[in-house]
């Protein structure tokens, strides 16, 4: 994989994912180093000014009225980072920390923060060495930036605190930096502040969530198509002319996917004739494009917000293009927090309709001839009865996670920071919600595959049949007497999460929307 160039302009979302998840290397572009040097000169020209300048010669937050003499300013920056590295709780995932550091580096590269080039280079070196600062789950209010998470990263670059090396081994930061040949940074005026004053954690998690959702929403279309077949549903409601009567782009894409997935399905064709007495399918089948499409459109809006954030230079104070240093409120996480919460609502809705489709396959009153709970010998065997319980438990949890974090605010810093976004919290719960959606879709896919096998000798469409074959190749056997179900559910989860289920369908249909 080639190096990703960090320039003055915005990163592409795919570049963030590549660095965070795939370990791609980064390099500072020459123009970025030039812009960083220009911004630094502004700060150095102010350092000797008798007039106080926030972050350069004053304290922070509610302590901004204290003028700091020249000889104490390096200590001021070190103290800021040490005191703000106050996180608690479980470690944050490696991919989140790498995304956070990359996005802070991208802002440093704009020259708007006033750090020296060697500070930015240290961040690039740490990323390239695979060193991951230990960041804890609690500590950010999503305003004045993701302060505690970013401070733990800055602390590591100073050679303090704890990190994990490229092999995932926890060790003192000084030891890991030395092993990688990286010299710890000695912070100067404003640099500590510049390293912790950004919304990089919540933005990084938003970008990773959008990457996951692109896969999951297409996979939800696959499991929905399998459920339509398994329940002898119709594909006529997904016709393009019907969807065009309500021209939401996400709905159109989802319906197009369902048409492609159900194309040439012998099961669907078997009940198209005049002998079929069913007038219309239940909402959970018929309205799949509307629900999945709404989630797609929500993700589209969130992606627009993310792109604007990627084009932003967030710091306070900021070095402006005309060479002044100005205080501002761009560190407030409200724009990101709102879409993170919005996505959690859509995730819960997609999972909810998937669970309802699953439940219909297990109920003899609604499954159109399938065995109760898809059991081999109902009564002796329970089939997928409890798989649906697992789904239901997750869906219930997702409804709780859909309660917005961004409507909360707790004042901090002696009422100087009296309104905060809670965007970091919104991002953390969205990550949990996406894990839940993955599991719910996997259980629907697992159950629908079993139901399709039970429809033999009728066959599913080429696309859904390929998905069933891929699941069987992944070690999940077809119908039979009851067996230990948890490993099969986990195999289905990995089949969905890895993208292999999507790849199996797209090998037949071509790329899904």
Contact 133, 153 (CB under 8 A): yes
Residue 133 CA to residue 119 CA, distance in Å, equals 16
Short-list 20, 180, 37, CA closest to 108: 37
Residue 223 CA to residue 492 CA, distance in Å, equals 12
Residue 193 CA to residue 55 CA, distance in Å, equals 7
Those residues whose C-beta lies under 8 Å from the C-beta of residue 192, and which sit 6 or more positions away, are: 76, 77, 78, 80, 81, 154
Residue 292 CA to residue 251 CA, distance in Å, equals 7
Site of tokens 């992606």 = 303
Residue 443 CA to residue 354 CA, distance in Å, equals 9
In the chain, what is the straight-line distance between the N-terminal and C-terminal CA atoms, in Å?
A: 26
Beta pairing class for 26-28 and 4-6: parallel
Integer Rg of the chain from CA: 26
Per DSSP, the three-state class of 410 is coil
Residue 123 annotated to the active site: no
Quote the tokens at residue 84: 């703000």
Quote the tokens at residue 393: 């438990």
Residues in the chain: 513
Site of tokens 């005026």 = 189
Residue 481 CA to residue 493 CA, distance in Å, equals 22
- Annotated catalytic residues are 54
């Amino acid at each position: 994989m080639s190096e990703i160039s960090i320039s003055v302009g915005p990163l592409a979302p795919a570049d963030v994912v590549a660095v965070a998840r795939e370990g791609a290397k980064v390099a500072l572009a020459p123009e970025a180093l030039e812009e960083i040097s220009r911004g630094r000169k502004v700060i150095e020209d102010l350092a000797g000014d008798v007039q106080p300048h926030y972050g350069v010669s004053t304290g922070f937050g509610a302590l901004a009225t204290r003028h700091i003499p020249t000889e104490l300013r390096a200590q001021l920056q070190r103290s800021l980072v040490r005191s703000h590295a106050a996180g608690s709780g479980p470690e944050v995932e490696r991919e989140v920390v790498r995304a956070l550091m990359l996005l802070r580096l991208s802002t440093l590269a704009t020259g708007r923060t006033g750090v020296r080039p060697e500070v930015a280079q240290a961040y690039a070196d740490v990323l390239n060495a695979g060193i991951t600062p230990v960041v804890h789950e609690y500590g950010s209010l999503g305003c004045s930036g993701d302060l505690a998470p970013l401070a733990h990263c800055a602390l590591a670059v100073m050679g303090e605190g704890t990190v994990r090396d490229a092999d995932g081994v926890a060790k003192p930061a000084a030891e890991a930096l030395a092993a990688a040949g990286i010299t710890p940074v000695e912070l100067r005026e404003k640099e500590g502040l510049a390293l912790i004053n950004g919304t990089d954690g919540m933005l990084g998690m938003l970008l990773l969530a959008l990457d996951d959702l692109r896969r999951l929403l297409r996979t939800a279309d696959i499991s929905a198509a399998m459920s339509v077949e398994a329940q002898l549903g119709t594909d006529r409601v997904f016709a393009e002319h019907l969807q065009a009567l309500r021209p939401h782009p996400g709905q159109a894409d989802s319906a197009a996917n369902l048409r492609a997935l159900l194309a040439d399905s012998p099961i669907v064709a078997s009940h198209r004739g005049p002998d079929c007495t069913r007038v219309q399918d239940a909402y959970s089948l018929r309205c799949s494009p509307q629900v999945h499409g709404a989630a797609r459109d929500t993700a589209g809006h969130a992606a627009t917000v993310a792109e604007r954030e990627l084009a932003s230079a967030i710091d306070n104070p900021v070095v402006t293009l005309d060479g002044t240093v100005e205080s501002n409120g761009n560190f407030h996480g409200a724009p990101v927090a709102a879409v993170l919460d919005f996505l959690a609502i859509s995730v819960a809705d997609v999972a909810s309709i998937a669970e309802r489709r699953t439940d219909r396959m297990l109920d003899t009153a609604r499954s159109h001839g399938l065995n109760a709970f898809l059991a081999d010998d109902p009564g002796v065997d329970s089939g997928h009865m409890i798989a649906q319980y697992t789904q239901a438990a997750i869906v219930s949890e997702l409804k709780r996670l859909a309660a917005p974090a961004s409507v909360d605010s707790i004042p901090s810093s002696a009422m100087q920071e009296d309104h905060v976004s809670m965007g970091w919290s919104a991002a953390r719960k969205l990550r949990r919600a996406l894990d839940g959606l993955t599991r719910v879709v996997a259980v629907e896919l697992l159950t629908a595959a079993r139901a399709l096998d039970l429809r033999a000798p009728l066959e599913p469409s080429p696309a859904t049949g390929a998905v069933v074959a891929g699941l069987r190749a992944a070690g999940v056997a077809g119908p039979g007497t009851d067996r230990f179900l948890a490993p099969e559910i986990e195999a289905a989860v990995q089949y969905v999460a890895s993208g292999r289920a999507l790849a199996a369908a797209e090998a037949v249909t071509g790329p899904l929307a």
